């Protein structure tokens, strides 16, 4: 169900850097930073809920992209402070990141992006849970990486 | 200069801290504070602009945060190229979009405080070129259950001409 997540064609791996100083360190070493905007796609965002333990007064976060804990006596024990809402799972102060193209990359070469910057829908449960694509194959056209995202493969709907 | 401005702690009120992680919030709970949770939502106006430029020779990049209002320091036609054109954005500096004001255990109803790190987005400065600056801090009143930010729209909104 995740056709490209493990680089099955053993293409060269393109790294992603999300820190300006590190991007520039790679530039000094001959890599070409290819900057791409981070534009959150709301449908790719997991959701969370904030609960407060009525006895201890402590707060607990539950995320729908992680296994849900088994909570006995839920209604008696917890108060919902923030009901299910989306959050963007990547922190950023500046909304871009860069793929690091090696100096000998040939136009038309197929590569493997291990940390895709743009948002693409990965797994889609019918319960409303969506995961973003983390890694994907791409083609270098000399200026940018064309992500080979295929909704028919990634946008698989899981029933449950 | 700051007399009677509610965005500065001109009256010397006790300062309300803001916790921006779950661990900080729960630590404050253990110390007796009352956390007032606020959700973080993106504002209607854009506070932050940026443009990314790249040195044509070294390929190093730089961020021009004042790009939108023409204060860029570089010459895009010569040494640099524009890698990403100017755009507005909302920084996502926390993973989970909520934070909490930490009200001390001995707070009295109607007591005035100064919230030094506002969670909500208020306009603190408006520039006549069309951009806004976010308000960082503001006076706030504790009513016994909630912390009421004493923001007065327009009253403290400085307008910069230029």
Q: What is the pLDDT of residues B68-123, one digit of tens each?
A: 444 445 555 578 888 898 888 877 777 789 999 999 999 999 999 999 999 998 88
> Cα distance from A76 to chain B (closest Cα, Å)?
20
DSSP, collapsed to helix, strand or coil, labels residue B24 as helix
DSSP, collapsed to helix, strand or coil, labels residue B25 as helix
For chain A, list residues with pLDDT below 50.
1-3, 156-160
DSSP, collapsed to helix, strand or coil, labels residue B63 as strand
**Angle at A116 (CA atoms; ends A114, A118), nearest 5 degrees:** 175
Confidence label for B155 from pLDDT (cuts 50, 70 and 90): low
Q: What is the pLDDT of residue B48?
A: 76
**Predicted confidence (pLDDT) per residue in B32-49, tens digit:** 999 999 999 877 777 777
Give chain B positions within 8 Å (CB) of A50. 37, 96, 98
Backbone φ and ψ for A114, nearest 5 degrees, come out as: -80, -20
Least confident of A35-39, A93-97, B141-145, B157-161: B157-161
In whole angstroms, give the CA distance from residue B21 to residue B97.
Answer: 10
Residues whose CB falls within 8 Å of the CB of residue B88, separated by 6 or more in sequence, listed in order? B46, B47, B48, B49, B68
- Cβ atoms of B54 and B83 within 8 Å: the answer is yes
Q: What is the pLDDT of residue B70?
A: 45
Q: What is the pLDDT of residue B107?
A: 97
Q: Which residues pair with B99 in a beta bridge?
A: B38
The average pLDDT across B19-42 equals 94
The closest CB to that of A82, out of B26, B39, B94, belongs to B39
Residues whose CB falls within 8 Å of the CB of residue A153, separated by 6 or more in sequence, listed in order? A3, A4
**CA B134 centroid distance within chain:** 5
Task: Scan residues 113-152 of A and list those with Cβ closer than 8 Å to B.
Answer: none
- Cβ atoms of A56 and A73 within 8 Å: the answer is no
Whether ipTM tops 0.90, in short, is: no
Give chain A positions within 8 Å (CB) of B31. none
Per the listing, tokens 């895709």 go with A116
Q: What is the pLDDT of residue A33?
A: 95
Task: Scan residues 16-55 of B and list those with Cβ closer than 8 Å to A.
Answer: 22, 25-26, 29-30, 35, 37, 39, 50, 52, 54
Give chain B positions within 8 Å (CB) of A48. 96
Q: What is the pLDDT of residue B93?
A: 75
Q: Is residue B28's pLDDT more than 70?
A: yes
Identify which of A3, A38, A32 has the alpha carbon closest to the alpha carbon of residue A15.
A32
DSSP single-letter state for residue A23: H
Q: What is the mean pLDDT of chain B?
A: 82
Identify which of B17, B40, B43 has the alpha carbon closest to the alpha carbon of residue B147.
B17
């Amino acid at each position: 169900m995740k056709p490209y997540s493990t680089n099955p064609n053993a293409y060269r791996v393109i790294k992603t850097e999300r820190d300006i100083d590190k991007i520039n360190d790679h530039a000094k070493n001959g890599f070409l930073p290819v900057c791409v905007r981070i534009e959150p796609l709301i449908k790719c965002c997991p959701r969370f809920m904030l609960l407060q333990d009525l006895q201890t007064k402590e707060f607990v976060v539950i995320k729908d992209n992680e296994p849900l804990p088994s909570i006995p006596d839920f209604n008696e024990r917890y108060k919902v402070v923030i009901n299910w809402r989306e959050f963007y799972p990547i922190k950023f102060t500046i909304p871009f990141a860069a793929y690091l193209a090696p100096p000998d990359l040939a136009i038309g070469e197929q590569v493997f992006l291990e940390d895709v910057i743009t948002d693409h829908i990965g797994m889609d449960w019918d319960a409303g849970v969506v995961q973003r694509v983390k890694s994907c194959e791409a083609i270098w056209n000399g200026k940018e990486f064309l992500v080979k995202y295929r909704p028919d493969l990634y946008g698989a709907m899981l029933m449950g | 200069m700051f007399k009677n401005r509610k965005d500065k702690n001109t009256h010397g009120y006790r300062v309300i801290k803001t916790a921006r992680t779950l661990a900080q919030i729960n630590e404050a709970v253990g110390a007796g504070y009352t956390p007032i949770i606020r959700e973080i939502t993106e504002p209607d106006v854009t506070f932050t602009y940026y443009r990314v430029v790249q040195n044509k020779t070294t390929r190093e990049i730089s961020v021009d945060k004042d790009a939108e209002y023409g204060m860029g320091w570089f010459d895009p036609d010569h040494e640099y190229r524009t890698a990403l054109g100017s755009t507005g954005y909302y920084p996502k500096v926390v993973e989970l979009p909520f934070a909490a004001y930490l009200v001390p255990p001995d707070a009295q109803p109607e007591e005035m405080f100064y919230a030094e790190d506002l969670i909500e987005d208020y306009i603190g400065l408006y520039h006549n070129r069309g951009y806004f600056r976010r308000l960082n801090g503001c006076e706030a009143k504790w009513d016994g259950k909630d912390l009421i930010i004493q923001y007065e729209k327009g009253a403290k909104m400085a307008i910069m001409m230029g």
